[in-house]
Amino acid sequence: MMASSSCGHEECWLLLPWLANGRLSHAERAGAEEHLRECAACTQELARQRLMCQVLTEPERVTYAPGPSFRKLMERIDGRAPARPQERPLGRRDAPAGRAVAWRPPGLAWAASFVLAIGLAAFAGTAYRWSLPRYATHTTAAGGTPGVLHIAFDRSLPVGEMEEILRSAGARVVEGPGTTGVFGIAPVTAAARLRADPRVRWVEPLTGTEESQGAQGRRTREP
């Protein structure tokens, strides 16, 4: 049988809450109980302490359902909800925990912004080019020969009729036709007569700089 020694009044008094809730060690309990046999004040205090335990462990009048709270927590753990509620007047924010979830590395945002800026710049350049008039060259320098007239007939004109026009003007075909239906004819002195014929769309002599410009072709704007 283990011998138990009575503890002092002050020591027993301090231990009474845990004697009441049943959480004293065996040795402390034995010592306190020994003292209680001879101390009315501690016995009375123990009764009050037991009453405190009884009152505070009474069945709850309100039952708290854990389900909704647990779902909120799991949403937070899975990142589907903010780390902390937005409004919390009474509580201090747990900044490190909050930041751990809310903060994201800036790299991805910077990269996305950079790609977007490059794309916008490229689009602006393309749009500017599209807004400018587009030109096409219809004759080539190789086709241009000094002392030659370039002539274009109405496209519906039969070949025989073209030959008749040239013959009547005293001209002959010396080049062409090119891909655009332009002929080179000679001599250049036939130009005035040919221009008077309504079946001729245009006639241009190639001389000097004019010849050079004409060799590069008349520039016409395409729609």
Partner 1 sequence: MKPTSYSDRGMVEPTYRGSASVAREVDLMARIANGDRKAFEELYNLYHRRMARFLTRLTHRFDLAEEVINDTFWVVWRKARDFRGDSQPSTWILGIAYRKARNALRSSARFGRQNLEAESLALTSDEPFRTEELRDWLEQALEQLPVEQRLGVELCYELGYSCEEIATIMGCPVNTVKTRLFHARAKLQKLLPQLAGAGVPAPHGAGRQAAQERQS
> What's the rounded Cα separation, in Å, for the pair 53 and 181?
113
Query: Binding to partner 1 by residue 99, rule CB under 8 A?
Result: no
Query: Binding to partner 1 by residue 48, rule CB under 8 A?
Result: yes
Query: Binding to partner 1 by residue 102, rule CB under 8 A?
Result: no
Query: Binding to partner 1 by residue 72, rule CB under 8 A?
Result: yes
* Tokens linked to 149: 């007239």
Helix, strand, or coil here: 157? coil
137 contacts 143 by C-beta, under 8 angstroms = no
> Which H or E run contains 205?
strand 200-205
Smallest gap from Cβ 26 to partner 1, in A, equals 5
When binding is defined by CB under 8 A, the residue of 1, 3, 5, 58 that contacts partner 1 is: 58
Longest dimension (CA), the chain: 154
Stretch that binds partner 1, among 7-15, 116-124, 170-178, 181-189 (CB under 8 A): 7-15
> What's the rounded Cα separation, in Å, for the pair 215 and 212?
5
Q: Based on CB atoms, which residue is closest to partner 1, 49 or 139?
A: 49
Query: Binding to partner 1 by residue 11, rule CB under 8 A?
Result: yes
When binding is defined by CB under 8 A, the residue of 3, 5, 37, 91 that contacts partner 1 is: 91
9 contacts 36 by C-beta, under 8 angstroms = no
When binding is defined by CB under 8 A, the residue of 38, 44, 119, 172 that contacts partner 1 is: 44
27 contacts 11 by C-beta, under 8 angstroms = no
Angle (nearest 5°) at CA 94 between 91 and 98: 125
Stretch that binds partner 1, among 73-81, 119-127, 172-180, 198-206 (CB under 8 A): 73-81
Query: Binding to partner 1 by residue 124, rule CB under 8 A?
Result: no
Stretch that binds partner 1, among 87-95, 113-121, 127-135, 156-164 (CB under 8 A): 87-95
Angle (nearest 5°) at CA 80 between 78 and 86: 120
* Tokens linked to 35: 């003292």
Binding site for partner 1 (CB under 8 A): 9-11, 13-15, 17-18, 20-27, 41, 44-45, 47-49, 51-58, 60, 62, 64, 66, 69-70, 72-74, 76-77, 84-85, 88, 90-92, 94, 97
